[in-house]
Structure 1
Amino acid sequence: MFAIRLVTTSGPGTHVLPADSSRVLAGGDEETAELLRTADEPGRAGAVQVFPRPLRTPAKLLIAGIGAGDEAGWRAAGAAALRAVPADEPLHVVLPADAEPAAVRALAEGLWFAGYRFRDAVSGPRSVEVTLQTSTPDAYAESLAVARATAEATWLARDLTNTPASLKNPEWFASQVVAEAARREGLTVVVRETDQLRAEGFGGLLAVGGGSATPPRLVEASWRPEGATKHVVLVGKGITFDTGGLTIKPREGMKLMKKDMGGAAAIIGAVLGAADLRLPVRVTALAPLAENAVSGSAYRPGDIITHWDGTTSESTNSDAEGRLVLADALGYAVGTLEPDVVIDLATLTGANAVALGKRTAALYSHDDELAAALFAAGEAAGERMWRLPLPDEYKEYLASDMADRHSSPTRGAGSVVAALYLGEFLGDKVGSWAHLDMSAPSWSEKPDGDLPQGATGWGTRTLLRYLSEISA
């Protein structure tokens, strides 16, 4: 990641003056006032006015709109300012004297989020020199540190998701987590391989991963600070590539399936970020990892699968595989880890996009307080979600004559029914559980605000904001 420094004096390069819609001249002068007099929407969040100043210092001036002056506006201003200058041009942001720490955190997040480049891309990571000018740098040091930890976790989630499936098999993913954890004191990782998964009864994970030449893994990463009184378990779907199995996808449906482990990437980013921030809350991240492949050993439509908790599922669609691996992990979480809260993230259904479009995740929970806390965390972090219902009458869709439940009924309400299926594995913890179906917002088809083209790392920053709030 590139550095963002707090300074007290003006530096070279492009100068940015953040401005809200009611005070567009914050930090400006008479020349700036005249330039802005006829400008279009100079204070709109994310709007950037560029003013060349030949033979003068600074040689270029940007006015970046922060809208209402909330975190979303400051984040949009940071992202827009970074995109408005060449990669090799220093960027100097002049902070208003009354800037709040939360605003500076959001500004820095916008700069870092928009500056992301996939680590293995030919062009390499973006190199840029960014400074924030203020007379009180100490007031913003913590905000900058929190923003950096959040951005690093999000960048990692994006990197993991963007990595091609030719490299990113379950073993590779697990090795990345082990390597990242080794750099953080107090973070431990356990990786279960095939024999242990079989001995402990992770039948859903073994079924889904059984058709691949690269066997499945279950990664359990734990942040357990001394004195923590609350335990949050995060579960993330980790299908490193999804062909659809024997119920094979068409080419168009398969070409982006390297992103089908976006939930696992997000929860791993979150537990690493919690360790970096030394949050006083216990966090366990469970990433069931498998490649859903086509071969003679692939599981078949009509198979009966026995899960970790001993219950069975009838699966007639091998392309509804994510819920099978999550079922094992959720059962294991409530059966052994004694969590206070369970949150799972999954690129689970295309129905998510049908219902809510490409920028909004579906939120499911029986717990109004938990749902409200996650929604608020997402709003503050800049990740949208919308709560959908869990109607009991739809549970009849899960009925099976052959097993305890049907994992892939085809009677409609696809995202809702998938959530109801997962809830079956929570036991008496179902009231302290939330499910986020985030298939659509996990990927961006083009650069958009603080999102790059490609993997967005959706969920990482929301989870870190939530964990920070409950540990405050």
Structure 2
Amino acid sequence: MNVTISSSTLPKTGALVLISVEGTKLLPTAQAVDEAMDGGLSKAIKAAEFKGKVGQVLDIAAPQGISVNRLFVVGLGAAKSLKPAGLETAAGRMVGRLNGARIKQGSIAGDAIEGSEIADGDVAAHLALGAQLASYRFDGYRTKQKPDQKPSLTKVGVMTRAQARAKKAWADLSAVGQGVYLARDLVNEPPNVLYPESFAKKCKALTSKGLKVEVLGEKQMEKLGMGSLLGVGQGSVRESQLVVMRWDGGTAKSKPVAFVGKGVTFDTGGISLKPGAGMEDMKGDMGGAAAVTGTMLALAARKAKVNAVGVIGLVENMPDAGAQRPGDIVTSMSGQTIEIQNTDAEGRLVLADALWYTQDRFKPRFMIDLATLTGAILVALGEEHAGLFSDNDKLADQILDAGKASGETLWRLPMGPAYDKLIKSKFADMRNIGGRFAGSITAAQFLGHYTNGVPWAHLDIAGTAWQSGSKPTSPSWGTGWGVRLLDRLVSDNFEK
């Protein structure tokens, strides 16, 4: 679907969507429409008891006095509490509504909203992003779809009187949308198509966007001593990979920000085999790597003024005769030894070497890792928030603020030396599981031993990387969660 920023001239075809805030008069475009309808819009609003509350939608078919076939008014709630994510959700909801009505072309009025913290022009840009995100589809493997099963909407124009500002903001936001699309595609791909080597190949293709991309194979990782990462993939016929993506948009002397992603392209659990029910979802166990890859594309596409590094560890966890066993002891790149007590606690083993490699080679300002790491985080937080763990309060607060601004929210959980006793091993420096209690915390505590004092945060996205249903701006199973969060973190704090 094509999304554009357009003038505030009333459209002559398709559907028109007006925005409304609670407790205020009609916004400028709605006023113009009401005049053209000889007060008909005001009468319809009154008759329907439409108050402009969040999620309210007024639908008027064949409105008199204007040329469009359908007129909608969507509520945004109170102006003072409106956030960009609220605009995006409203636009996404309306894209779904327009497709449901089999409408081919729509226009959304992106009026300035008095009393809101969102500037004129930015309103239109965020409405455009919501429409873009809502239009995502992963239909490449469907061969029998009928025309009426496909989206009808082909074009959305977001109208604004502040076109210059809106177009500038939209250029950046549409780049973020590209990153979200890529992350969703990666998570949604079937595991016979997306495996470590093919994932790495997709990353290499991003050199056309300005990224520098390196791929390390198993022999290179063996020389570096990455026994923790390599042990996970030794039961697979697919070769494990470590991909390094770099965006050099800052000054030469500026330390990079670093993002590290877990990329288990399929997770059977290994010898500690998972139950069969739901195992197909384990194609998405590379959601952290997908988010890092999408973020790196977003930064490059909008030419972010920052130096950034994305490192992803790509493995397939399979249970063949050569697979890692419970009871094995491996040596990580850091030199620390790990007793394997459960081969299904494999993501932390991948991240241990990826984190150590990142801090050792790049000396970054900070590291943030993303991983679909524990089922325990789903029990704690469901699908609404990701888990945040950090050894640095300033970084944690910056991430939480970026989450609120982007709509990708987190909840911070505790860490501390007391949890180390739960991962203490009788035979090695530590073991890879901590037992029944505090599962997400002990996983984070394990990772903290591989950061070497660099400011660090761990995001457990097992509840947010994919979803059981759908949301207005996230209609597919794979959500692309993390791209908007990390891009907002960079833009708010590290490009000034």
Q: Give your verdict on TM over 0.5.
A: yes
Deviation at 1:409, TM superposition (A): 2.1
Cα pair 1:24 1:43 within 8 Å, conserved: no
Q: Any idea what SS the aligned residue of 1:85 has?
A: helix
| Deviation sequence 1:360-415 (CA, Å, 0-9, x none) | 10001121111111111111111111000003211111111111111112141000
CA separation in 1, counterparts of 2:219 and 2:46?
A: 71
Cα pair 2:3 2:158 within 8 Å, conserved: no
Deviation at 1:126, TM superposition (A): 7.2
CA separation in 1, counterparts of 2:200 and 2:56?
A: 41
RMSD: 1.8
> Structure 2 residue aligned with 1:459, among 469, 482, 489?
482
Structure 1 unmatched ranges of 5 or more: none
CA separation in 2, counterparts of 1:253 and 1:214?
A: 22
CA separation in 2, counterparts of 1:442 and 1:319?
A: 18
Deviation at 1:40, TM superposition (A): 5.2
Q: Any idea what SS the aligned residue of 2:266 has?
A: strand
Structure 2 unmatched ranges of 5 or more: 114-118
Q: Any idea what SS the aligned residue of 1:256 has?
A: helix
> Structure 2 residue aligned with 1:48, among 50, 53, 57?
57
| Deviation sequence 1:190-214 (CA, Å, 0-9, x none) | 0011111111111122111111111
| Alignment partner, residue 166 of structure 1 | 192
| Alignment partner, residue 190 of structure 1 | 214
CA separation in 2, counterparts of 1:324 and 1:37?
A: 60
Moved more, 368-377 or 126-135: 126-135
| Alignment partner, residue 112 of structure 1 | 132
> Structure 2 residue aligned with 1:36, among 36, 45, 58?
45
Cα pair 2:125 2:167 within 8 Å, conserved: no
Cα pair 2:251 2:307 within 8 Å, conserved: no
Moved more, 458-467 or 55-64: 55-64
Deviation at 1:261, TM superposition (A): 0.2
Deviation at 1:230, TM superposition (A): 3.8
| TM-score for the superposition, normalised by structure 2 | 0.91
Amino acid at match of 2:55: G
Deviation at 1:434, TM superposition (A): 0.5
2:419 aligned with 1:404, yes or no?
A: no
> Structure 1 residue aligned with 2:318, among 287, 293, 302?
293
What percentage of residue pairs aligned between the two structures are identical? 37
Moved more, 232-241 or 84-93: 84-93
| Deviation sequence 1:67-101 (CA, Å, 0-9, x none) | 23321321121111111112652011122255623
| Deviation sequence 1:176-229 (CA, Å, 0-9, x none) | 1111x22213x1000011111111111122111111111110000011125152
> Structure 1 residue aligned with 2:223, among 190, 194, 199?
199
2:91 aligned with 1:82, yes or no?
A: no
Moved more, 411-420 or 226-235: 226-235
Amino acid at match of 1:89: K
Deviation at 1:133, TM superposition (A): 1.8
| Alignment partner, residue 58 of structure 1 | 68
| TM-score for the superposition, normalised by structure 1 | 0.95
Amino acid at match of 2:70: K
CA separation in 1, counterparts of 2:224 and 2:152?
A: 45
**Are residues 172 and 72 of structure 1, via their aligned partners in 2, closer, same or farther at CA, if it must alter by over 3 Å?**
same
| Deviation sequence 1:84-119 (CA, Å, 0-9, x none) | 112652011122255623322321221111111015
Deviation at 1:17, TM superposition (A): 0.5
Moved more, 259-268 or 270-279: 270-279
Moved more, 49-58 or 209-218: 49-58
Cα pair 1:21 1:42 within 8 Å, conserved: yes
Deviation at 1:38, TM superposition (A): 3.7
Question: What does residue range 384-399 of structure 1 map to in structure 2 within 5 Å?
Answer: 384-399=409-424
